[in-house]
Amino acid sequence: MLAPLTPVAVLGASGYTGGELVRLLLGHPSAELVYLGANESAGKTLGEVHPYLAGATGLTLESLDPAAAAGRAEVAFCSLPHGASAVLAPALLDAGVRVVDLAGDFRLPADAYPPWYGFDHPASAWLEKAVYGLPELFAAQIAAADLVANPGCYPTVAALGLAPLVGVELIGPGSILVDGKTGLSGAGKSPTDATIYAATEESVRPYRFPKHQHTPEIERALELATGVLARVSFVPHLVPAVRGVLITSYAPLSDGATTESLTACLAAAYAEKPFVRVQPPGGMVDTKRTRGSNLIELQAVADLRTGTAIVAGALDNLVKGAAGQAIQNFNLMTGVDETAGLPTTAVYP
Amino acid sequence: MLAPLTPVAVLGASGYTGGELVRLLLGHPSAELVYLGANESAGKTLGEVHPYLAGATGLTLESLDPAAAAGRAEVAFCSLPHGASAVLAPALLDAGVRVVDLAGDFRLPADAYPPWYGFDHPASAWLEKAVYGLPELFAAQIAAADLVANPGCYPTVAALGLAPLVGVELIGPGSILVDGKTGLSGAGKSPTDATIYAATEESVRPYRFPKHQHTPEIERALELATGVLARVSFVPHLVPAVRGVLITSYAPLSDGATTESLTACLAAAYAEKPFVRVQPPGGMVDTKRTRGSNLIELQAVADLRTGTAIVAGALDNLVKGAAGQAIQNFNLMTGVDETAGLPTTAVYP
Amino acid sequence: MLAPLTPVAVLGASGYTGGELVRLLLGHPSAELVYLGANESAGKTLGEVHPYLAGATGLTLESLDPAAAAGRAEVAFCSLPHGASAVLAPALLDAGVRVVDLAGDFRLPADAYPPWYGFDHPASAWLEKAVYGLPELFAAQIAAADLVANPGCYPTVAALGLAPLVGVELIGPGSILVDGKTGLSGAGKSPTDATIYAATEESVRPYRFPKHQHTPEIERALELATGVLARVSFVPHLVPAVRGVLITSYAPLSDGATTESLTACLAAAYAEKPFVRVQPPGGMVDTKRTRGSNLIELQAVADLRTGTAIVAGALDNLVKGAAGQAIQNFNLMTGVDETAGLPTTAVYP
Amino acid sequence: MLAPLTPVAVLGASGYTGGELVRLLLGHPSAELVYLGANESAGKTLGEVHPYLAGATGLTLESLDPAAAAGRAEVAFCSLPHGASAVLAPALLDAGVRVVDLAGDFRLPADAYPPWYGFDHPASAWLEKAVYGLPELFAAQIAAADLVANPGCYPTVAALGLAPLVGVELIGPGSILVDGKTGLSGAGKSPTDATIYAATEESVRPYRFPKHQHTPEIERALELATGVLARVSFVPHLVPAVRGVLITSYAPLSDGATTESLTACLAAAYAEKPFVRVQPPGGMVDTKRTRGSNLIELQAVADLRTGTAIVAGALDNLVKGAAGQAIQNFNLMTGVDETAGLPTTAVYP
């Protein structure tokens, strides 16, 4: 028997993540797309905003209107700029719509917003009810949630790689260093001097450190998962690619830990998780093997000479790092198979 | 008055580094290329091996013969696979030819070769006389040396960024984590499954860690420059680019150190160095701005929240990371201007 | 009601096209993969040959054995090097297995093989029965065929763009010039000097003209579709991309033809075809909008000043240009929906 | 004896071509850069506009002022948007400054400007005196000229490849089809939806045909060189690269012409030309082998089966296709060696 269709809305459909949400939802077996909202692109057809989606649906983009969305949808995906969801999502929630928010607006404690995002949070009551939507770690809470804060791309990789090891103390207390590399789709669709092809090809660049807003989110995700408050220093880098995030984390290695014990810990933690591929010792993660899929690859190595645990992870930032993970959360929230509508194989090469 | 021409030989002219050496030496005002040696490519013209150099010189590649090279050249550049220079360079040196070796064969103490390179060093007497050829740190020794071990690309960036800070204890003792990103020219000219375009575009991958042979070299360079023995954990990554190495190093920040004091220390250390560009606070390094030049860009940031010094550096691995630096060493050895024959401006974009 | 599952074999599963066939067939609603054959990779698991497909199926690659394949499968996809299918496919056919051949072995008349492929065709009886598998033009014959010659990537684009216009004489008689651009996946998985990243990035190169074997295939496809024997001069180029073929064809424009009439002709020809997107006047085709999908984009322009019809087309060479089109043929042959198992939306960006 | 320094101005120094002009002029042995003019960037240092040129000169960008430039310079390079030079250059010329204009403003007859550039030419008297600056074809006129119209990147390749063959009738009369491929630096430095990395990688796209303004310029260049008025249909394409233009031209092959005779004709025409590399039969041109240099590679093939001459050519659009060629013209105008200040070897890989 087929699952009944759940009517869903996408608020913020004009960016790369919005487009990926629409693409995946159009192929989802138990979701029916009933509302597409946008700001500047309101009134345009989907094909005008995303030419590669021309003809995929008859919907046109409407202006952002929570009431209109709430009148049609049971679940809403908010893929809006940081700060906009915090204003808009409460209206959806108050109208009884369950929300998966893809911005950073419901991921941190209220007091973290001024220093890291530059605004005072306008909806702290809802913020307290939000569930951090990392499905491999918090499935039960997500299933019951009205408001899911879909994680950032970097925190998804860092937390899934580190949390099981921190949890069993294979990684000792102390500071964790997180080095991130991302393709350009993470920088969004608006053209800038920094994102044009001529300035990007053959360019490897760190950016916005040590102030990147994913820094406290990595700390928060680890604390939520393990109760341990680690201090994270995070440096993201732009590399010449479109999709793909690779994280290399460095942490103090506990006595007696080995590459084998680190690997076994990760393998056990994710044995039943359909999207996590833990590499065996000697196997190296590769963003390209995840592209277009909801997969994440993880690898852990003990550098015994220096007492360092090195944990690397790779995913497609628009799928497992954004739209795909949001749909994975939707699947948990609506009780359908966790993999429904989500590719488990990369488009390769 | 023009400097007299020094006759020079290149042993190992068929790889990417060999080609870059030839290209730069052909335009060098005080070097005259008199011998090109190769192994499998012996007998071919330069244009057959490097089509982009067709017509640039009448020399053809000869089989590798130290005696022949020594009969014509005063200085030899050895750009051979690891292990080959250690066998071949002594014959050149014994014949009175000064050598700049671009392999790893003379960079480490003898006891480091079995674990990191997999061979027993066959010429330990010469190894002890070798000078580590990082011109910004060891100019005087290089000028007087008969045998210069030209540094690896990663250690060049890591050591130039870290040494001044370690030297004045802005970075405290303890472990240093070095995260490297490189383009594909560093992987050489021989085609492999890992280096074809279809497997490389959109691929970000760590490789060969924690066993990469540049790990002990970074430690050695820091010790030579500062007397401090640091423990380095090093993870290199391949990113979709041809030229360019970016290193992000993480080290314990000493009390009171700030982004400004770190930056000032680097700026003072390299104030007179023509190829080093220290970025001001807020400036971010970029491999693309060094491409085709002998420049290195450096940047230091104090992450006060976590007590971490973050030092980033970028260069063109084939120029400042290999052939250009070798010529910079040649310039010091022969007493000509340090910048002779070396581009100080990138080819951009 | 679900369609019954058709057991299928893939002979030649280790290349890029073979991997794409496996990926798409694993998600196909009415195909069941029962045999994977390979030459050098026999005995390996799918994940060893295609790491991105690790875990996707329990099948391992077997040595190429038509009898084994015929014992299990009703339809076989042959994705073998040119010349190998001509030897191997007859054994499958004689055993009652229907074959979709992705090599060039059954696309041309027998007398074209010595000059263009360098071999005498060993199975001319089957060659005469083969149907040229361009679904948009020859659906009825394909549905009834035992042996379908799946077209080459370049001929698919050129023929679909030109055939309707030649057929109604909007393009006059005379020579047609076809300029092709392809990404590197078309050059296969084996590493060569010409396909490594360092030699490919920033490189635009023509290759193998005027002797490329797709030249007579384009002529043949046009003749089969229209009865007109055109003379085609074809120059393919390698550009720095992985997937994607773009063809720009130039032909004499008939009197009175306009951009509008050319466009209307194409639009009418493909009005009912689910994978063809004809761009309106002013719209430009783009390979990126087809990536990962079975789509083809077409565009026609009348250059009235010079009397030239310009027809451009774009597709993903591994999908609509190879594996996807083969499955489209399979769908026609087995009477299921033409789009079954085939993506109609690109993975973008 | 060194040549005396000629004081030069660059008007329009903020774009990619302007930056390349500055980079090359700073290393030119007989040019002294005395004025940098810009529009929006006036008042900024060179390093603020082109960070890779930081520190290369003490000059800052001034507002565009022909009088100021004329007060200091003997030769001016105008690297301004189309339409701006036609207004500004006359003031320089009237003040006795010789001008090399890199825009399209002095390349065509006056009546071609309204249909192809969309403006009426404001300085037709100077337009008539302008010399088309293709040094390999018009060296004598260039040497004597006050105003040189530096050719476009596409016309440079097309005309150098075709003119010798048209001139001796190896290519018969009739239409010529020109298919161009360019990297993104040709699209300029201003970010647009079409030039961001995420939209460009894996994208091959035709653009602006059949109305591209280089179409009449190719016809004009051929007519100037040969007296033959050919009709050219031209389709340019964007490919994922930064530098590099490749042109593939198709023309009717005259009776008796062969690959050998076409090649011999080109080789003879350019035997004494330092920047032209004619490939032998079987050799294929490659943009990458010209990158960063003023070289152009040419190749001609007779497709006897269809009676088509195919002429391919490759260059670096910012050097031989723009700034380098402008300096080559400057060298001819000032009587110094044609290669002064111009790289004859590519930066490869």
B318 HSE (CA, 13 A, CB side) = 28
For chain B, what is the radius of gyration of the CA atoms? 19
Tell me whether residue D176 is in a domain. yes
* Cα A231 from Cα A215, distance rounded (Å): 9
CATH number at residue C303: 3.30.360.10
Which of A26, A54, A345 comes nearest C53 by C-beta? A345
Tokens encoding B246: 């970016």
Q: How far is A243 from chain D, CA to nearest CA, in Å?
A: 8
Whether residue D36 contacts residue D61, with contact meaning beta carbons closer than 8 Å, is answered with yes
Tell me whether residue B177 is in a domain. yes
Chain B touching partners, 3 or more CB pairs below 8 A:
A, C, D
Which of B52, B286, B345 comes nearest D348 by C-beta? B52
CATH number at residue A40: 3.40.50.720
Question: Does D309 lie in the same domain as D170?
Answer: yes
From chain B, the residues in CB contact with A207 under 8 A are 284
Question: Does A54 lie in the same domain as A194?
Answer: no
Q: How far is D172 from chain B, CA to nearest CA, in Å?
A: 33
Buried/exposed B44-81: b ≥16 CB within 10 Å, e otherwise: bbbeebbbbbbebbebbbbebbbeebbeebbbbbbbbe
Q: Which residues form the domain of B37?
A: 6-129
Phi, psi (5° rounding) for residue C14? -95, -15
Tokens encoding A318: 């628009």
Judge whether B273 is closer than 8 Å to chain D, CB to CB: no
Which amino acid belongs to residue A235? V
The edge-to-edge listing of strands for the beta sheet with B175-182 is B205-206, B231-238, B175-182, B245-252, B308-315, B296-303, B276-278
The owner of tokens 């040959």 is: C49
Question: Does A245 lie in the same domain as A125?
Answer: no
> For C84-99, how does the pLDDT look when each residue is reduced to its tens digit (9 = 90+)?
999 999 999 999 999 9
Closest-CA residue to D152 (of D235, D214, D244) = D214
Catalytic residue list of C: 153
Q: How far is A61 from chain C, CA to nearest CA, in Å?
A: 19
Angle at A185 between CA A180 and CA A191, to 5 degrees: 120
The residue from D153, D265, D310, D314 that is catalytic is: D153
Tell me whether residue B148 is in a domain. no
Which amino acid belongs to residue A21? L
Which amino acid belongs to residue B81? P
From chain B, the residues in CB contact with C197 under 8 A are 184, 195-197, 200-201, 240, 242
> For D218-234, how does the pLDDT look when each residue is reduced to its tens digit (9 = 90+)?
999 999 999 999 999 99
Of the pLDDT bands very low, low, confident and very high (cuts 50, 70, 90), residue C67 is very high
Judge whether C28 is closer than 8 Å to chain A, CB to CB: no
Give yes or no for residue B2 having a pLDDT over 90: no
Q: For chain B, how long is the longest CA-to-CA vector?
A: 61
Question: Does A214 lie in the same domain as A312?
Answer: yes
Q: Cβ–Cβ of D196/A193 closer than 8 Å?
A: no
Question: Does A191 lie in the same domain as A117?
Answer: no
Selected for mutation to probe chain B from C16, C50, C195, C196 (highest B CB count within 10 Å) is: C196
Whether residue A68 contacts residue A38, with contact meaning beta carbons closer than 8 Å, is answered with no
Tell me whether residue D337 is in a domain. no
Which of D184, D192, D201 comes nearest A242 by C-beta? D201
DSSP D201: T
Which of A203, A233, A284 comes nearest B310 by C-beta? A233
Which of D175, D206, D248 comes nearest C308 by C-beta? D175
Q: Report pLDDT for D55.
A: 86
Give yes or no for residue B321 having a pLDDT over 90: yes
Q: Report pLDDT for A174.
A: 79
From chain D, the residues in CB contact with C243 under 8 A are 202
DSSP D229: -
Question: Does C174 lie in the same domain as C30?
Answer: no
Tokens encoding C150: 């799946």
Tell me whether residue B260 is in a domain. yes
Of the pLDDT bands very low, low, confident and very high (cuts 50, 70, 90), residue B174 is confident
Whether residue A61 contacts residue A46, with contact meaning beta carbons closer than 8 Å, is answered with yes
Q: Cβ–Cβ of A197/D242 closer than 8 Å?
A: yes
Give yes or no for residue C1 having a pLDDT over 60: no
Tell me whether residue C344 is in a domain. no
Angle at A265 between CA A263 and CA A266, to 5 degrees: 65
Whether residue D192 contacts residue D184, with contact meaning beta carbons closer than 8 Å, is answered with no
Judge whether A288 is closer than 8 Å to chain B, CB to CB: yes
Distances (CA, A) of B198 to C198, C222, C349: 12, 31, 17
Which amino acid belongs to residue C65? D
What is the pTM assigned to this prediction? 0.97
Judge whether A248 is closer than 8 Å to chain B, CB to CB: yes
Question: Does C275 lie in the same domain as C199?
Answer: yes
Q: How far is D226 from chain C, CA to nearest CA, in Å?
A: 20
Q: Cβ–Cβ of D242/A192 closer than 8 Å?
A: no
Q: Could you tell me which residues come within 8 angstroms of residue A116 by beta carbon, excluding any fewer than 6 positions away? A: A108, A211, A213, A215, A216
Selected for mutation to probe chain D from A14, A196, A202, A291 (highest D CB count within 10 Å) is: A196
Q: B171 pairs with which residues across the strands? A: B253
* Cα C271 from Cα B309, distance rounded (Å): 63
> For C135-188, how does the pLDDT look when each residue is reduced to its tens digit (9 = 90+)?
999 999 999 999 999 999 999 999 999 999 999 999 987 789 999 999 999 999
Judge whether C44 is closer than 8 Å to chain D, CB to CB: no
Q: Cβ–Cβ of A195/D192 closer than 8 Å?
A: no
Q: A206 pairs with which residues across the strands? A: A237
Question: Does B179 lie in the same domain as B310?
Answer: yes
Which of C56, C291, C349 comes nearest A185 by C-beta? C349
Q: Cβ–Cβ of B204/A231 closer than 8 Å?
A: no
H-state helical runs in D50-177: 66-72, 84-94, 113-117, 124-129, 135-144, 153-167
Q: Does an H or E element contain B307, and which? A: none
Complex ipTM: 0.97
Q: Could you tell me which residues come within 8 angstroms of residue A148 by beta carbon, excluding any fewer than 6 positions away? A: A98, A99, A100, A101, A130, A131, A132, A133, A142, A329, A333
Question: Does A172 lie in the same domain as A311?
Answer: yes
Tell me whether residue D335 is in a domain. no
Judge whether A115 is closer than 8 Å to chain B, CB to CB: no
From chain A, the residues in CB contact with D197 under 8 A are 184, 195-197, 200-201, 240, 242
Question: Does B303 lie in the same domain as B202?
Answer: yes
D292 HSE (CA, 13 A, CB side) = 19
Q: Does an H or E element contain C332, and which? A: helix C324-334
The nearest alpha carbon in chain A to D196 belongs to A196
> What does the pLDDT average to over A18-42?
97
> For A256-304, how does the pLDDT look when each residue is reduced to its tens digit (9 = 90+)?
999 999 999 999 999 999 999 999 999 999 999 999 999 999 999 999 9
Q: Report pLDDT for D3.
A: 63
Distances (CA, A) of C49 to A272, C13, C38, C44, C344: 25, 9, 10, 7, 27
Q: Could you tell me which residues come within 8 angstroms of residue B95 by beta carbon, excluding any fewer than 6 positions away? A: B66, B67, B70
Q: How far is A185 from chain C, CA to nearest CA, in Å?
A: 7
Give yes or no for residue C261 having a pLDDT over 60: yes
Q: How far is B243 from chain A, CA to nearest CA, in Å?
A: 7
- pLDDT per residue rounded down to tens, chain D (349 residues): 456 899 999 999 999 999 999 999 999 999 999 999 999 999 999 999 999 999 888 899 999 999 999 999 999 999 999 999 999 999 999 999 999 999 999 999 999 999 999 999 999 999 999 999 999 999 999 999 999 999 999 999 999 999 999 999 999 877 899 999 999 999 999 999 999 999 999 999 999 999 999 999 999 999 999 999 999 999 999 999 999 999 999 999 999 999 999 999 999 999 999 999 999 999 999 999 999 999 999 999 999 999 999 999 999 999 999 999 999 999 999 999 999 999 999 999 9
Judge whether C246 is closer than 8 Å to chain D, CB to CB: yes
Judge whether A204 is closer than 8 Å to chain B, CB to CB: yes
Whether residue A24 contacts residue A341, with contact meaning beta carbons closer than 8 Å, is answered with yes
Tell me whether residue A120 is in a domain. yes
Question: Does C276 lie in the same domain as C163?
Answer: yes
Which of D16, D193, D201 comes nearest A198 by C-beta? D16
Selected for mutation to probe chain A from C270, C289, C299, C345 (highest A CB count within 10 Å) is: C345
Angle at A236 between CA A234 and CA A240, to 5 degrees: 165
> For A54-63, how does the pLDDT look when each residue is reduced to its tens digit (9 = 90+)?
988 889 999 9
Whether residue D294 contacts residue D275, with contact meaning beta carbons closer than 8 Å, is answered with yes
* Cα B42 from Cα C207, distance rounded (Å): 27
Question: Does A171 lie in the same domain as A120?
Answer: no
* Cα A62 from Cα A45, distance rounded (Å): 9
Judge whether B55 is closer than 8 Å to chain D, CB to CB: yes
Is residue B153 annotated as part of the catalytic site, yes or no? yes
Q: Report pLDDT for A44.
A: 97
Domain count across chain D: 2
Q: Cβ–Cβ of D240/C240 closer than 8 Å?
A: yes
